């Protein structure tokens, strides 16, 4: 029996898409990624009832495609793997070292609000993990409040983060005591879903932000920045440019948490290495 053959992505079309991805998202697209791009975009061809990648490219790069297809294209191209309490040791450091240090200068009886940013937050696991850790901490320290910003380039993952509904398997890394406190079970037991409780959701503001943007307008000065497992997709020079922009939004004395494959040379930045993947912004004499 003969099956109709699947369309394939020609190298010329892949390079056109690759250059676009690199320019718009900052993500490196070596030739070895051709089959990955081909498989990720196959779904779009089916949805749009388009029979070839050539035709898909023509649509994507047309004014109409740029208006309507661009967000779907970005959603398909980005890698969104994430977890609750991913690299758990970083959250232990946050609770045991970073938070006490950040709050050490607050005079007794004074109020302090902490600002944390999950840059490239994917489907929300990282900002909600931060919210659980900060919520636990602030419960013990009554004059402290917090606010978390989660940003990502993909509208699809931001929609998931906004709903804050997750499959039961995904909450495996969340300690039992925190599950009981911060996760609501679906009323329909057959669904096996959980939702982050409203009081935690209200602490997390989500906004679409491309880290390639010249400036990050939706971002206030931060005490804590998590930027993990995203810079790895960018070239060195782009990584450095993004890091400088992130650091413009980190207060002196604030902490930066990176992914394990994202080793940076702190000498190039106003950063002091604290532990593998954890840095602190140096306090200079200048007012910032």
Q: Rounded to 5 degrees, what angle do the CA atoms 66, 72, 78 make?
A: 110
The stretch among 60-68, 96-104, 196-204, 228-236 that binds ligand SAM (CB under 6 A) is 228-236
Please, which of residues 18-57 interact with ligand SAM by CB under 6 A?
25-27
Nearer to ligand SAM, 26 or 254 (CB): 26
Q: Rounded to 5 degrees, what angle do the CA atoms 96, 243, 216 make?
A: 100
Smallest distance from the beta carbon of 74 to ligand SAM, in angstroms?
Answer: 7
Question: Long-range contact list for 16-20, CB < 8 A, 24+ apart?
Answer: 16/57, 16/61, 17/41, 17/57, 17/60, 20/60, 20/61
Give the H/E segment covering residue 53.
helix 53-60
Question: How many Cβ atoms are within 10 Å of 267's Cβ, its own excluded?
Answer: 7
Could you give the residue numbers annotated as active site? 40, 152
Nearer to ligand SAM, 28 or 112 (CB): 28
Smallest distance from the beta carbon of 4 to ligand SAM, in angstroms?
Answer: 33
Give the contact letters, 125-164, x = binds to ligand SAM (CB under 6 A), - = no: -x-------------------------xxx--x-------
CB 243 within 8 A of CB 231: yes
Q: Facing residues of 194 across strands? A: 166, 185
Smallest distance from the beta carbon of 130 to ligand SAM, in angstroms?
Answer: 11
Question: How many Cβ atoms are within 10 Å of 167's Cβ, its own excluded?
Answer: 10
> Exactly one of 67, 81, 187, 287 binds ligand SAM (CB under 6 A); which one?
81
What residues line the site for ligand SAM (CB under 6 A)? Answer: 25-27, 78-82, 86, 120, 122, 126, 152-154, 157, 210-212, 228-230, 259
């Amino acid at each position: 029996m003969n099956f109709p053959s699947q369309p394939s992505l020609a190298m010329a079309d892949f390079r056109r898409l690759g250059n676009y991805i690199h320019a718009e998202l900052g993500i490196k697209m070596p030739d070895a990624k051709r089959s990955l791009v081909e498989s990720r975009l196959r779904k779009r061809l089916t949805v749009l009832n388009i029979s070839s990648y050539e035709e898909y490219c023509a649509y994507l790069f047309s004014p109409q495609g740029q208006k309507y297809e661009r967000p779907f294209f970005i959603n398909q191209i980005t890698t969104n793997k994430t977890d609750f309490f991913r690299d758990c040791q970083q959250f232990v450091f946050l609770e045991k070292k970073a938070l006490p240090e950040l709050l050490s200068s607050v005079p007794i009886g004074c109020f302090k609000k902490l600002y944390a940013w999950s840059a490239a937050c994917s489907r929300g696991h990282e900002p909600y993990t931060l919210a659980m850790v900060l919520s636990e901490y602030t419960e013990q320290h009554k004059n402290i409040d917090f606010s978390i910003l989660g940003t990502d380039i993909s509208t699809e993952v931001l929609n998931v983060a906004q709903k804050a509904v997750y499959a039961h398997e995904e909450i495996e890394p969340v300690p039992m005591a925190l599950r009981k406190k911060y996760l609501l079970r679906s009323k329909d037991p057959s669904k096996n879903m959980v939702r982050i409780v409203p009081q935690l959701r209200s602490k997390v503001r989500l906004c679409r932000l491309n880290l390639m943007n010249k400036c990050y307008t939706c971002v206030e000065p931060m005490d804590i920045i998590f930027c993990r497992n995203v810079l790895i997709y960018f070239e060195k020079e782009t990584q450095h440019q993004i890091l400088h922009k992130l650091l413009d939004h980190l207060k002196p004395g604030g902490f930066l948490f990176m992914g394990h494959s994202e080793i940076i040379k702190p000498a190039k930045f106003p950063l002091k290495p604290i532990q593998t993947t954890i840095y602190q912004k140096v306090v200079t004499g200048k007012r910032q």
